[in-house]
Each structure stands twice: as structure tokens, then as C-alpha cells.
């Protein structure tokens, strides 16, 4: 018997899909009632599925407050991953449903902006422009648009790139954010807490790093406090955000990319200042800016940025 042909792949170790869908909907709405409306089931069915998922994982995913739900740190991490996974799954299925004549446009941007800003809006674009297939290239390495490595980009920087047409989307600011569990209120108390650091690309014009923040805040850290052994450091901003959500310390995070967590109260900005790190820009190779499919993506991103 052929060994390759007869091999059986072990089953995936996943909880039931129904419980994952119920949790993702409840986390998106922070409500069993609204999740039930989305999935056309009863609130008790949503509650039962979520409880079963919590039992399977061995930890709570929600804090059940009076007439309100709040995600635990574990719930927030699972929600972020599920939302991204379901978006990709839906995009893959949708590609099969589209006519072959649909036009594909590859949007490239950094990993944090892709995960926190673009992916949650992908469904809105598909509904607005069903004839355009939007492909997302997430990388912290800048690709060559003129060579055709991607069709359109969202970048931070000066916006002055030879051979590209660019348009400013929005200003970006970074501020100290943390879980409300830390109880941090005053900038003077910040040196008592663990700092969460995040790497910036060498070409960044005005990186939001802790030494800069201490200078602009007028807070003098103890000797050697800019970075010490107990601090945390990440190469990816999304991971820094997850650490802050879990209560592991205070991170300098994007106010744009953390907007949802600030609205929900999962993160708080206890004080300023917020550091201006420049702007996000749309960019496309010169001469391609009026191609219909690229123009559709360009205008959609611009409208989303304008609406906040």
C-alpha cells in the first residue's frame, strides 16, 4: 500500500465552530442579545455556546457585569484572532462566488495597520465594490510599488516618495495606554510600572519611544529607567497591545489602532502627552492612480479615514 496516499491527517484541535461563532458575535457586540439577532438564534443559545467554550478552554472569556459584558484579557486575544480568521475565511469563500472577471488589487501596509484598521473594514469594501477583489499584503518591509510588487499602499512617513502619487490620510498619535486593572492615574507614578516597548523601523521620522515620551512629558525617570530587565519589548505593535490588555504594563500605542479598545474600556489613556508620529499616506505608482479598480480602493480607504 502506498504510504503517502494512505496517511491520515490528525484532526484539528478546535472547539465547535458554533461556539466560536457565538463568542465572536457576542464579543463584537458585547451583548448576547445583539449577537443572537445577528445569528438568528436566542440569547440563551448564545450564552450556552459561550459557556461551553469557556468550559472547553478552562478560563473565562467575559466578565458578566450588570446589564453589560466586558472581555477578559484572554477573551480579547481570542476575539482578535477569531475576527481575523473569520474575515480571511469569508474572503476566501467570497472569492469563489465572484465572477471570474472581477479585478484584483493588492493593498500593502504594515502588520499592525493591516490587523487593526484594514481587516475590520474589509467586509464593508466587498459590499461597496463587489467587482474588485481586495488582497491584503501585511508586512513591515516596504515593497516596491513601481515594480508592481503591490498596487496600492498605506504608509507612514513624509509622503514624498519619488515615482509615487500620495495623499495624506490621517495624523497619528501615540500615548501611554494600559489596562484599567493597573489603576494608574498620574504620570508621576509611571516609573513604578513595567514599561512595554515596541520596535520602530529605522526610517521612522518621529518614533514613539519611551525616552522621547519622558522628555515631552517633563517627567524625569530614575537613572536607567528608559529600559530595564523587568520591562517587555516586542517587534510587533499588536503583541505590545495584547500585553497591555493583559495588564502586563504600560505601552505607547497608536490612538488610531487602539480606538476600539479605548471605546470599550479595555484600555485607558490615564494621561498625556500624546506623541505626534506623523501621518499615514495612501500611495500608488505614478500613472496608475486612475485605473478603475485601484481608484475604487483609493477612494474607499480615503472615505473610511475621513469618517474616523
Give the model's pLDDT for residue 178: 96
Torsion sign across C-alpha atoms 114, 158, 267, 36: negative
DSSP lists the bridge partners of residue 63 as 70
Exposure b/e, 46-59, CB count within 10 A at least 16 = b:
bbbbbebbbeeeee
**Residue 117 DSSP one-character state:** I
Give the model's pLDDT for residue 124: 87
Residue recorded with cell 529605522: 202
For the chain, which domains are there?
Answer: 17-80 (1.10.10.10), 83-171+279-307 (3.40.190.10), 172-277 (3.40.190.10)
Note the pLDDT tens digit of each residue in 36-95. 998 999 999 999 999 999 999 999 999 988 778 899 999 999 999 998 888 888 877 776
DSSP 3-state assignment of 260? helix
Q: Cis before residue 273, ω within 30 degrees of 0?
A: yes
- Measure Cα distances from 1 to 4, 5, 6, 10, 98 in Å: 9, 8, 7, 20, 41
* Cell numbers found for residue 170: 490621517
Give the model's pLDDT for residue 307: 82
State which residues of the chain have pLDDT below 70. Answer: 1-7, 95, 97-102, 222-230, 308
Question: Measured between alpha carbons, how far is 250 from 256 in angstroms, rounded to an integer?
Answer: 17
End-to-end CA distance of the chain: give it in Å, rounded: 61
Note whether 154 and 282 are within 8 A (CB): yes
Give the model's pLDDT for residue 7: 62
Give the model's pLDDT for residue 109: 93
Give the model's pLDDT for residue 127: 87
With a threshold of 0.75, does the pTM exceed it? no
Amino acid at each position: 500500500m502506498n504510504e503517502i496516499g494512505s496517511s491520515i491527517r490528525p484532526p484539528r484541535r478546535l472547539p465547535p465552530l458554533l461556539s466560536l461563532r457565538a463568542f465572536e458575535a457576542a464579543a463584537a457586540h458585547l451583548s448576547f442579545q445583539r449577537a443572537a439577532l445577528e445569528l438568528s438564534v436566542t440569547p440563551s443559545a448564545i450564552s450556552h455556546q459561550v459557556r461551553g467554550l469557556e468550559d472547553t478552554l478552562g478560563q473565562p472569556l467575559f466578565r458578566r457585569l450588570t446589564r453589560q459584558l466586558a472581555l477578559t484579557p484572554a477573551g480579547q486575544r481570542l476575539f482578535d484572532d477569531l475576527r481575523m480568521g473569520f474575515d480571511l475565511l469569508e474572503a476566501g469563500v467570497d472569492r469563489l462566488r465572484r465572477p471570474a472577471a472581477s479585478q484584483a488589487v493588492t493593498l500593502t501596509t504594515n502588520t499592525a495597520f493591516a490587523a487593526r484598521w484594514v481587516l475590520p473594514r474589509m467586509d464593508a469594501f466587498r459590499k461597496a465594490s463587489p467587482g474588485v477583489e481586495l488582497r491584503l499584503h501585511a508586512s513591515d518591509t516596504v515593497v516596491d510599488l513601481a515594480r508592481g510588487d503591490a498596487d496600492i499602499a498605506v504608509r507612514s512617513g513624509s509622503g514624498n516618495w519619488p515615482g509615487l502619487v500620495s495623499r495624506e490620510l490621517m495624523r497619528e498619535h501615540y500615548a501611554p495606554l494600559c489596562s484599567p486593572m493597573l489603576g494608574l492615574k498620574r504620570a508621576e507614578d509611571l516609573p513604578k510600572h513595567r514599561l512595554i516597548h515596541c520596535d520602530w523601523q529605522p526610517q521612522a521620522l518621529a518614533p514613539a519611544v519611551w525616552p522621547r515620551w519622558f522628555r515631552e512629558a517633563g517627567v524625569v525617570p530614575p537613572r536607567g529607567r528608559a529600559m530595564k530587565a523587568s520591562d517587555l519589548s516586542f517587534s510587533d505593535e499588536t503583541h505590545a497591545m495584547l500585553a497591555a490588555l493583559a495588564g502586563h504594563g504600560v505601552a505607547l500605542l497608536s490612538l488610531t489602532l487602539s480606538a476600539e479598545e479605548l471605546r470599550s474600556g479595555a484600555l485607558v489613556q490615564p494621561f498625556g502627552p500624546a506623541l505626534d508620529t506623523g501621518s499615514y499616506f495612501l500611495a500608488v505608482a505614478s500613472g496608475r492612480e486612475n485605473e478603475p479598480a485601484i481608484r475604487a480602493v483609493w477612494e474607499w480607504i480615503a472615505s473610511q479615514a475621513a469618517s474616523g
